[in-house]
Amino acid sequence: MTKTEKVLNALQEGQELSSAQISSRYNVGNPGATIQNLRFKGHAIYLNAHSDTKGRVVNKYRLGTPSRAVVAAGYRALAGQ
């Protein structure tokens, strides 16, 4: 199983992962590129900001369902090609 597949499996299980977690758990050198690769394959991966009890903000990726507006934008982009 590739590193990208491992990240995707974790997201599909409902985990929310930060870039640091992706790097350390799955030995991914460039987590942003891995997420972008999954997005190009059609997975709706969102980046959400979370703040802890001390007020520190951490950005975490999650797998979600695209809104109708996002799907419509994709079809419009394809129609313009």
Q: What is the CA angle 1-11-69, rounded to 5?
A: 125
Residue ranges of E strands in 8-79:
17-18, 45-51, 57-63
Q: What is the pTM of this model?
A: 0.83
Per-residue model confidence (pLDDT) at position 21:
96
**pLDDT tens by residue, 25-73:** 999 999 999 999 999 998 999 999 999 899 999 999 999 999 899 889 9
> Where do the domains of the chain lie, and which CATH numbers do they carry?
3-79 (1.10.10)
- Please say if the pLDDT value at position 81 is more than 80: no
